[in-house]
Chain A
Amino acid sequence: MFVIFTLLLSGCSSLTVLNPKGPAARTLSDTIIFSILMMIGILVVVYVLYIFMLTKYRARKSNEGYEPPHEEGNKWLEILWTAIPIVIVAILSVVTVKTTVAVEKVPEGYENQKPLVIYASSSNWKWHFSYPEEGIETVNYVNIPTNRPIEFRLYSFGPITSFWIPQLHGQKYAMSDMVTKLNMVADEPGSMLGRNANFSGEGFAHMEFEALAMSPADYEEWVKDVKDTAPELTQDEFNKLLKTEHVGRMTFSTNHLEFSPPPEGHHHGGDSNGNEEHQGHKELHPDPATTEETEFDSESNVNPDEPLPTSPAEESSTHQHDGH
């Protein structure tokens, strides 16, 4: 079984998760393969002991009348098989914490570039992608430039969904009352499958989109093309679109962020100074009295120039930044 397992893992490119096209997914893929190898080691120990016990001590005609000894246990053996797992768990803990911190941040080597912010929001069984910097919007497909950090900001117009492009990064929830963030980079051009991974109702199975990584020059050209040729997205049209269950691809030369801001109010997040130590002390304060503001909050956080937060928990923005 292990042989098959390792062969499949190394040779099979259909295992999307282990076929990364960007640094974040590569970190995750390495973590997964490391943990699988470690786990196979554990399985081997257990299986060898197991087979040994079953073959050596099974009841046979020849050992009829054999009376097994009374054994209370053995202190040293029991300490041994407590201590070794503790060491294994400690190693895995270090790996987990390191990689978790790493994949939450902008991938290493890309920190100095200005990230491209894209708002990805879900409604019924489709995805809206709004590019605040370019002022354009797409539905059910997203084009991104290669070798540039992309910051997806996720939220939902309904049930919890989970934004997932397995070849670029792991998934993260999109929810209706806060914005979560996912940093990733695509380091080679190509088309990838993205989808909602979290069950969200009847049309969930069809909630897929294409993520197309293209060279920065191609990307610029595409943006220019959209701005020149695509229709505008009006508020009426957007509201109609929200109610639709499924649509194909759509492209607009303006986006919905202006009239339907994402749920990033001052009561949703901490401070935007990007300083981790200080942010730890900031509390969420979901004051019901201010909740109504969400819908009318004109201070929507659509300005990509603001300082980057370091972690999605420390949701950025707020009364401090100067809006636009």
Chain B
Amino acid sequence: MKWDEFFVTGEPLIYGAMVSIVLVSLAILFGLTYYKKWGYLWREWLTTVDHKKIGVMYIICALIMLFRGGVDAIMMRAQTAAPDMKFLDGQHYNEVFTTHGVIMILFMAMPFIFGLMNVVVPLQIGARDVAFPKLNAISFWLFFAGAMLFNISFVIGGSPDAGWTAYFPLASIEFSPTVGNNYYSLALQISGIGTLLTGVNFIVTILKMRAKGMTLMRMPMFTWSVLITCVIIIFAFPVLTIALLLMMFDRIFGSQFFTMANGGMDMLWANLFWVWGHPEVYIVILPAFGIFSEIISAFSRKNLYGYSSMVASMVVISGLSFLVWAHHFYTMGQGAMVNGFFSITTMAIAVPTGVKIFNWLFTLHKGRISFTTPMLYSLAFIPIFTIGGVTGVMLAMASADYQYHNTMFLVAHFHYVLIPGAVFAVIAGFHYWFPKVFGFRLNEKLGKTAFWFIAISFNVTFFPLFFLGLMGMTRRTYTYSAETGFGPLNMLSMVGAIGLAIGFILLVYNIYWSTRYQPRDKTGDPWDARSLEWSTPSPVPVYNFAVAPEVKGRDAFWFSKKNNEPLSNEKITKIHMPSNTGKPFILGIAFFFLGFFLVFSWWIPSIIAGIAVLIILATMSFDRDHGYYIPVEEIVQTEQKLRGDTV
């Protein structure tokens, strides 16, 4: 292989990206060395098993990936802003929309949600960490290895170009001969293993580590949503694992599962992909529902309306999510009866989702609503997401879908679901829980300005796409002629995309500004909120709770404040904590190289990296580390320092 086959060449944009990657990497290395931060980085972050720090690392990665996916989005909008644009060629455009989809779903939305899950869930249930802290670190580093592997594809070897759905036979070696789709199968596989482990970890954590008195039906709604999400994960992700494995065999080892010849079935890939892919949508949406439930309740100063039906509706959604996959290909010709069945199951999901919308509206009823930044995102979610929901019902109607399928109408619909659903939720959650982790709030004025930019620009960007779809514009089309009449609405959409970009830049600027100038919060409860995480001091000390809380009902912290009853009368005792370990990080590196070598079919290095993975796993199995104890004096000191002198 020559170097110009290894590196992607001939694209000025990609040369620019290469230069900036090298410069940024050098700057980081120089900065770490100059400020002597290598030790700090290793001790405090790379080897940490603390759920809060792992959560923060997930969120940092998610923000970087949001930038990457966002740049992809802007490039796509720019290329289609006017007829016959020459900004990107067909191949480059195909790579850009493929990476945009994969990154936004799997390397932005998922880690952002996992980050919030990691930070919040143990605190909400009154636990000191997750059930398996070391496994949690492994999950993160596998996700990180997968994300990095996927991201280097655009400079080394070439990006995948068959869409985030990677339909066969287009994604087969015959029609997609570059290594791009090898990256797809291996990067998703590695991070997918991490996701599966997270699912197991959080189910055990939530089932086994709740505070005394916290029955399942007393759990905060976000914790409930995470529990149900994790159940979906452990049923859905094995399907992806197998599908990707078959894909890898097809592409690297010459098997014929999905190819055109020798009995391969391209429809099988589409089925397997969506058997995972549809539940995946609910994996990112249900925690979002949980976040909105927390925030709407907190800023209405009311308990969540219809708690039991909120839980029931999520359980019903999780069940139905496995019965709707064929609605992604009504047009495959399976006949009216099969399509009718999947139409009905799909529309049925609107019922529990509608229940949730009305419960949120009635949580607002008789409340005292304050419009903070997290609340603004949560409130904007309701009307925008409802548009996404009703267009979803329209798409669910098989006959009508013959006209919407593969068009911009569909693109508009799923952005109307995923952006107000998942993205608004993680941004709302980010603003809401930020003071818990860092000890100060983000600036409200900047936060609200960013919100209005994002909320308005979102609609300007995506509402025109509904009409473009009805005009017959198909998705994934890199260019069109002026006669089609698609030009003006696409230009409008481009304007919106610029507004969205400004909104996100303001959001990031707010983090910088607030870090420097915002006053520190000494109360630990800046929003006057309701659940247990707000009973800890901010930033939360490593052990979370100085004494384990005891719970007598829902919204335990709220009633402890109202009734002036402490959450626990126990004395502070020494606390047992897990020790840090570098092995998960090293395992991630080994997996990264295993994936990388397999992408290029370099067998000897692959085998060496594979053996390295096995050795690291084996040494982990024989680890005898029983953790350590934090003495009482240290706990008392920490609490005094964080809370002023009130303890």
Interface residues of A (CB under 8 A from B): 8, 14-18, 25, 27-29, 31-32, 35-36, 39, 42-43, 46-47, 49-50, 53-54, 57-59, 63, 66-74, 77-78, 81-82, 85-86, 88-89, 92-93, 95-97, 99-104, 158-160, 162, 164, 166, 169-173, 175-178, 180-181, 193, 195-205, 286, 288, 291, 311-314
Contacts and interface: CB of A to CB of B under 8 A. Distances in A.
B390 A73 contact: no
Contact of B170 (A15, A66, A201, A291): A201
Interface string B381-413: 011001100110110111111110111000000
A139 to B, nearest CB: 20
Nearest to A159: B170
26 contacts: A15-B471, A35-B397, A43-B386, A43-B390, A46-B357, A47-B386, A49-B361, A58-B369, A68-B366, A73-B308, A89-B350, A100-B336, A100-B398, A101-B340, A102-B399, A170-B402, A170-B403, A171-B405, A173-B331, A173-B333, A175-B267, A176-B169, A178-B333, A199-B476, A205-B477, A314-B335
Contacts of B303: 70-72
B382 A50 contact: yes
Contact of B309 (A16, A71, A78): A78
A243 to B, nearest CB: 13
A14 B343 contact: no
Contacts of A291: 262-263
Interface stretch (B33-41, B478-486, B620-628): B478-486
A96 B262 contact: no
B561 to A, nearest CB: 12
Contact of B397 (A42, A95, A158): A95
Given A39-B391, A68-B300, A171 B307 contact: no
Given A28-B402, A43-B387, A170-B399, A15 B470 contact: yes
Interface residues of B, number: 91
Nearest to A315: B333
B407 A197 contact: yes
A111 B170 CA distance: 37
A223 to B, nearest CB: 28
B543 interface: no
Contacts of A198: 167, 406
Contacts of A32: 394, 400, 403
A306 B467 CA distance: 42
Interface in B303-353: 303, 305-309, 329, 331-340, 343-344, 347-348, 350-351
Interface string B350-373: 110011011101101111111100
B351 A173 contact: no
Given A67-B368, A201-B162, A312-B335, 5 more contacts: A28-B403, A78-B355, A78-B358, A89-B348, A199-B406
B333 A180 contact: yes
A286 B263 contact: yes
Contacts of B307: 72-73
Contact of A8 (B163, B354, B405, B467): B467
